[in-house]
Amino acid sequence: MKKTFVITVLILMLFSVVSAQRLAPRESTRFINIVSEGSFNNFPDTSIGEAFESYFEAPRWRYYREGSEDIVEFTGNFTDENGEKASLTMKFYVNESDETFVLQFWAINGTPQDNSDQYNFLLKIFVPDRSSRALSVVREGYFYDYPESLIGESFANFFSDGYWDYFVTFDDEDVVEFTGSFYLDDQLVEALFQFLVYLEDRTFETVYLEVAGESKDADYLAFILDSIFASQISIVKNSYFDTYYYWMTLGEAFDGFFTDPYWNYFLSTENQEIVEFFGTFDLGGVPAEVYVQFEIADGDYYLYYWEMDEYPESINSFYLLLELIYK
């Protein structure tokens, strides 16, 4: 029985050694703690380690010497504004005598970043709710002249390659920025909106508009908003073609299903208001081209014509296409 007891104890001891946290040299731990337990001047209430390890995936700290300098390096992964995986590297120069440090270098995906962008990046880490709140105020808000249409949904329907961003000015003002492309006189141009957000009362104002690289005035803003919210394209894209397909608007469904979706509006030779759509999709490993025309009448619309691979199709076939899209 004694031999069995001794063997059991040894096994337990070996198991506890294997399961223990990886050990680090005392010197490394001391320098890393100076940074991870410290804070930035702009965010004094949250330690760097707490914020970084909450925000980043696979966070890793390490210490090394570079010449006469003591360096603490942090690396971690995060999801950027485009939903893509990205990696961060930050290097802190540490002064052991007074336990201070300076962020000397930072890079995203190996590309060194400008220090002027540092504050806005750290803001997303230490105050993530601030940017989310500001984006929500605009995207889930509406313009007074168009109270029934959410800005986020309408912009997504009208613009292609839409992208939302947020930053803080040097005066500590919250700015939400949107960029997206649309057709103007048969040319694809890019528009840029900037909204100044007032978080306390959840309001905003449009402070800047740029189209095709040129700043625009209030009259042009009114024109483009009318194009976005009162456009015939929006009537079609913001609708549900049939009550059976109630969980996605036609615009959401078509833009998500087809490759290179394209929407346009024109008056026919008989003065019919037509919204047209063109896109391609994979049909059994072969790209199929779809073209659809909707006629606008009395504020509503109906399917006027559609074809696939240049062959006219029936309304029944269109419902089969919807089944494929909405499945």
- What is the DSSP secondary structure assignment for residue 33, as one 8-state letter? H
Tokens of 183: 């057709």
pLDDT beyond 50 at 4: no
Residue 249 has phi, psi (to 5 degrees) of -70, 165
Output the CA torsion sign for 135, 139, 140, 141.
positive
Share of the chain above pLDDT 90, in %: 47
Q: How far apart are the first and last CA of the chain?
A: 67
Q: Is residue 233 exposed (0-12), middle (13-18) or buried (19+ Cβ within 10 Å)?
A: buried
Q: Is residue 68 exposed (0-12), middle (13-18) or buried (19+ Cβ within 10 Å)?
A: exposed
Per-residue confidence at 9, pLDDT binned at 50, 70, 90? very low
What's the pLDDT at 11?
42
Q: Does residue 263 or residue 23 have the better pLDDT? A: 263
What's the pLDDT at 247?
84
What's the pLDDT at 28?
84
Angle between helices 315-326 and 250-257 (to 10 degrees): 70
pLDDT digits (tens, 9 = 90+) for 31-56: 999 999 999 988 888 899 999 998 99
What's the pLDDT at 25?
55
- Mean pLDDT confidence for 251-273: 86
16-20, 104-108, 292-296: least confidently modelled range:
16-20
What's the pLDDT at 314?
94
Using CA atoms of 75, 78, 81, 86 in order, give the dihedral in degrees to the nearest 10. Answer: 60
Beta bridge partners of 90: 74, 106
Extents of the domains making up the chain: 22-126, 131-230, 233-326
What's the pLDDT at 153?
83
Q: Position 266: which residue type?
A: F
- Mean pLDDT confidence for 193-221: 93
What's the pLDDT at 62?
93
Per-residue confidence at 229, pLDDT binned at 50, 70, 90? confident
What's the pLDDT at 12?
41
pLDDT digits (tens, 9 = 90+) for 304-319: 999 999 999 999 999 9
What's the pLDDT at 216?
95
Per-residue confidence at 230, pLDDT binned at 50, 70, 90? low
pLDDT beyond 60 at 137: yes
Q: Does residue 106 or residue 156 have the better pLDDT? A: 106
Pairing of strands 286-297, 300-308: antiparallel
Contact 154, 164 (CB under 8 A): no
d(CA 196, CA 175): 5
Per-residue confidence at 61, pLDDT binned at 50, 70, 90? very high
Strands of 214-215's sheet in order across: 160-168, 174-184, 187-198, 203-211, 214-215
Tokens of 98: 């007074």
